[in-house]
Amino acid sequence: MDHDHDDHLHHEHDSHYSDMQARVRALETLLTRKGLIDPAAVDRIIDTYETKVGPRNGAAVVARAWIDPTYAEWLARDATHAIVSLGFGERHGTRMRAIFNTPEVHNLVVCTLCSCYPWAVLGLPPVWYKSPAYRSRAVIDPRSVLAEFGVDLPAEKKIRVWDSTAELRYLVIPERPAGTEGLSEEALAALVSRDAMIGTAIVRLPEQIR
Ligand code: FE
């Protein structure tokens, strides 16, 4: 566990975030009342960015790392620049670190103080990532939290928990599933879910290509 949060920065980041949320909600209410937007459509757009558009960037990074050992080595050594090379840039000053799952170690990402998240590669954070329950329990009892996400790890597998900060954010590189040797880079990327890159899922081959 390394947590080098700067408290001052974090309070700014938190209050800015909740202020922004309040303004967004007020605007949404106003536009809905005037009949200008359909809240269900807004929910669908947000869902698209949470689960489809944003995480596709991270999935492209994972797929490249799976097929290109030189890229994987660069990603392990200097994730910030290896990720920018694929066209996905974090906001100024944020560093990225890629953490690789192995047969021995499973990695899980959390932000215990607020909701630091690698926007450039994963898009919008899911609601549960920001919840106090996940933020506290991921650190205290990661194995049970993973079980609730449907990830039952063998007892001998170690779980390493990484605490994100405003300055340093993590991308989990899941293990490449067996049986994917013949798949293209695009097909591999399609297997990688957002949750697998946070560490709350593992990548599996769907039944139809198994
Ligand atoms: Fe944070």
115 Cα: distance to centroid of ligand 1 (angstroms): 4
Catalytic residue status for 193 = no
85 Cα: distance to centroid of ligand 1 (angstroms): 25
Report phi then psi at 117, rounded to 5: -155, 145
Catalytic pick from 15, 18, 115, 184?
115
113 Cα: distance to centroid of ligand 1 (angstroms): 5
Q: Where are the domains of the chain?
A: 3-198
Nearest C-alpha neighbor of 167 from the set 101, 114, 88: 114
What percent of the chain has pLDDT above 70?
87
Catalytic pick from 85, 116, 136, 144?
116
Catalytic residue status for 144 = no
Neighbours of ion ligand 1 (CB under 5 A): 111, 113-114, 116
Q: What is the pTM of this model?
A: 0.80
Contacts of 102 (CB under 8 A, 6+ apart): 175
3-198 maps to which CATH number? 3.90.330.10
209 Cα: distance to centroid of ligand 1 (angstroms): 38
Catalytic residue status for 114 = yes
| Confidence band for 187, pLDDT divided at 50, 70 and 90 | very high
Residue 7, token pair as written in the block:
């408290």
Please say if the pLDDT value at position 149 is more than 90: yes
Q: What is the pLDDT of residue 12?
A: 42
> What does the chain look like in DSSP terms, one character per residue?
------HHHHHHHHHHHHHHHHHHHHHHHHHHHTTS--HHHHHHHHHHIIIIIHHHHHHHHHHHHHH-HHHHHHHHH-HHHHHHTTT--PSTT-EEEEEE--SSEEEEEE-SSS----HHHH-SPPHHHHSHHHHHHHHH-HHHHHHHTT----TTSEEEEEE--SSEEEEEEPPPPTT-TT--HHHHHHH--HHHHHTSS-----GGG-
Contact 130, 115 (CB under 8 A): yes
Catalytic residue status for 116 = yes
Q: What is the pLDDT of residue 132?
A: 94
Q: What would the pLDDT profile of 21-51 be if each residue is shown by its tens digit?
A: 778 788 888 888 888 888 888 887 777 777 7
Q: What would the pLDDT profile of 192-202 be if each residue is shown by its tens digit?
A: 999 999 999 99
Catalytic pick from 15, 111, 131, 184?
111
